[in-house]
Structure 1
Amino acid sequence: MAQQTRQRAEKMRPSGANEGTGSAAPASGRPPVRSAPPRSGPARTGASRTSYAAIDLGTNNCRLLIAKPSADGFVVVDAFSRIVRLGEGLAATGALSDAAMDRAVAALSVCAEKLRARQVTLARSVATEACRRASNGAAFIERVKRETGIALDIISAQEEARLAVLGCHALLEPGDGPALIFDIGGGSTELVLVDSTGPSPRIIDWLSMPWGVVSLTECEAAPEDSHVDVRAAAYARMRARVADAIAPFAERVPPDADQPRLLGTSGTVTTLASVHLDLPKYNRQLIDGLIVPTGSMRAISQRLSLLTLDERRALPSIGPDRADLVVAGCAILEGILDIWPAPRLGIADRGIREGILRCLMDQRL
């Protein structure tokens, strides 16, 4: 099964991107992330020499993409990603900690250097749930501007959902009826019901629930040395919290019984897809665009929920950076599958950054 599924993975051609990231210019198969036609000719003069950048500072990660327009979308010329855990401790204190802010500023300083080195012409930098929720979020934004020169925009949950959809909707399986796209973040999870029949997705309904892998872990994770029964109980509590938060959305958007389509973009789904393929290390070319049976994703989620922290760390597809957070991601994923029982799950290793780049290149921001 894993070999058959590998063959369905979208083949991508990176262009100068760091290992672990890739280009949005596929060799064949699924449609690329495309830019709409320019509004006027002069605006695209010298477009091949223009570099655009997108920074996404989330609750758990800091990510950067720098790209140039191409005939079939855009080509990534540089990329950066670092786990910073900006939202660590936020659920308990309501504020960003000094250590978390220091980690984020260090990562953003790397981004600033890359922006200068690549002579970026136009960029947009956004911050999401951690900064939305923190009492000192605005002060942190000011510090980032002062120390790195990067002007972060704290975007709304609705804008976050819109950008994620723009960045990954090209990977939706063809079909009729609405589709569900979701993004499991560090501090929140966005679910978006879309009509994908037109050239661009139309958002029908959406939900931002206040549970992501960091916030849910901090509330319900089992102690590291706990008995398997304790771990199982903690996972059940996680799933119950997700079910409560997702219930209003589930009542509004019953799935299409004929062909429910589902696409996920987040570290959770890409990590679980890596486990599904039994990869010795993460490979974006095999993951981005992959279609996985949801039964397999459920089985992996339930198995991981019962492993100890050390056992999860020992899995090469997970490793030490995600081992403590992946169980919460599994609980959120299962909650989504409960309300949208699609037979398959599309996996996207793209999202907000790609959505920003699309908008910048289309002159929509």
Structure 2
Amino acid sequence: MRCSVIDIGTNSVRHLVCDVDGKEIKHIKKDVKVTRLGDSVSKSGKLASDAIERTASAIQAFLDDAENLKVQDIYAFATSAVRDAKNADSFINELSKFGINVDIIDGETESLYGYIGASYGIKRESVLVLDVGGGSTEFSYLNGNLVKKSFDIGALRLTEKFIKNDPIKLDEYNNISLYITDMLTPFISENQEIPTDVVGIGGTITTLAAMSQGLEIYSRELVHGYVLSKSEIKRLLDLMMSLSLNERRLLNGLQPERADIIVAGTIIVYTILKLLNCASITVSEWDNLEGALVGKFIKCI
């Protein structure tokens, strides 16, 4: 059966098309469009009309793609920006005109999808799956049961909250790092069994893998399974902090439309690795899209 999943995120909308045969998944297409649905949600509490329009247009394009590819079933879900927005219902109603229903999933479900997707892709047990998104960051790992935790720290959210200068200033970096530390320390202190083998998913982490390799053209094959050392992440962070936004847009491996939020996203990843005392992170191209596909169409979770 040919299925597709649409992930309506804070920073981007993503679309996965796969053929499913039993428990086997064959990728047909995986696309992303940066729409910034979450612009200003943390300040106004609402989705902006222009952000809704951009996102609806991207979703319509993905639905057209699904029709052209003869997709038989579609599952769509929305994450941090939509679950935080006061006007989420009007946005979902707008999308219903396209003939799709959208699940607004909570942080725990988002963590679950991320864990299942990364586990399928990396095929390792006893790992911590770290999902750094635009509006939130999720932790998930097995400790008897699956531990799932979501925090309101994301690349777009923290950029809006802390970064006012270009290039970013050292005190802004310190403020972001302290904020993340304050948010995460109680959880980390209370969960000493958190694995130190970390698998990372999400746009920030896959972008860092592409930048580390200097990829002029993004390659899922080269990014998936790539190991980023903490020192390499710090090297990339120092480089980006020394550059203006326009200079960052020219870096190989960095999508120009992600250049304004990549610094905050990288600070999140680097700070978490320091807090966990981890030396590296393995990058997975399989993520919550694949996890949602497994949950909805393979139904083994």
Question: Do Structure 1 and Structure 2 share a fold, with TM-score over 0.5?
Answer: yes
Letter in 2 for 1:239: S
Letter in 1 for 2:292: I
CA distance 1:291–1:70, shift in 2 (3 Å) = farther
Equivalent residue number for residue 26 of structure 1: none
Residue 157 (1) aligns with residue 93 (2): no
Which secondary structure state, in structure 2, belongs to the residue aligned with residue 361 of structure 1? helix
CA distance 1:132–1:345, shift in 2 (3 Å) = same
CA distance 1:283–1:325, shift in 2 (3 Å) = same
Q: Deviations over 1:304-357 (max 9, x none)?
A: 233221221121211421110001101110221022222221001221110111
Equivalent residue number for residue 251 of structure 1: 189
Letter in 2 for 1:100: A
Instruction: Tell me, in whole angstroms, the C-alpha distance in 2 between the residues paired with 1:117 and 1:280.
Output: 29
Instruction: Tell me, in whole angstroms, the C-alpha distance in 1 between the residues paired with 2:148 and 2:22.
Output: 32
Contact 1:171 1:263 in 2 (8 A): no
Instruction: Tell me, in whole angstroms, the C-alpha distance in 2 between the residues paired with 1:136 and 1:300.
Output: 37
* Paired positions, count: 301
Which secondary structure state, in structure 2, belongs to the residue aligned with residue 56 of structure 1? strand
Which 5+ residue runs of structure 1 have no aligned equivalent? 1-49, 196-200
Letter in 2 for 1:118: L
Q: 1:320 aligns with which of 256, 259, 272?
A: 256
Q: 2:16 aligns with which of 61, 65, 75?
A: 65
Which secondary structure state, in structure 2, belongs to the residue aligned with residue 153 of structure 1? strand
CA distance 1:307–1:194, shift in 2 (3 Å) = farther
Which secondary structure state, in structure 2, belongs to the residue aligned with residue 186 of structure 1? coil
Q: Deviations over 1:72-120 (max 9, x none)?
A: 7211223331001000111111100000000000001012212322332
Residue 181 (1) aligns with residue 129 (2): yes
CA RMSD of aligned residues (A): 2.1
Which secondary structure state, in structure 2, belongs to the residue aligned with residue 192 of structure 1? strand
- C-alpha displacement of 1:255: 5.6
Equivalent residue number for residue 242 of structure 1: 180
Equivalent residue number for residue 28 of structure 1: none
Letter in 2 for 1:263: V
Q: Which 4+ residue blocks in structure 1 deviate beyond 6 angstroms?
A: none
Q: 1:358 aligns with which of 259, 271, 294?
A: 294
Instruction: Tell me, in whole angstroms, the C-alpha distance in 1 between the residues paired with 2:192 and 2:62.
Output: 42
- C-alpha displacement of 1:137: 0.7
Which secondary structure state, in structure 2, belongs to the residue aligned with residue 53 of structure 1? strand
Q: Deviations over 1:109-152 (max 9, x none)?
A: 01221232233222211000000000001110011112x22211
- C-alpha displacement of 1:282: 1.8
Instruction: Tell me, in whole angstroms, the C-alpha distance in 1 between the residues paired with 2:192 and 2:287.
Output: 25
Instruction: Tell me, in whole angstroms, the C-alpha distance in 2 between the residues paired with 1:137 and 1:238.
Output: 28
Q: 1:216 aligns with which of 158, 161, 181?
A: 158
CA distance 1:79–1:363, shift in 2 (3 Å) = same
Q: Specify the structure having the higher radius of gyration (Cα).
A: 1
Contact 2:76 2:100 in 1 (8 A): yes
- C-alpha displacement of 1:266: 1.1
Contact 1:232 1:306 in 2 (8 A): no
Contact 2:115 2:141 in 1 (8 A): no
Instruction: Tell me, in whole angstroms, the C-alpha distance in 1 between the residues paired with 2:227 and 2:36.
Output: 29
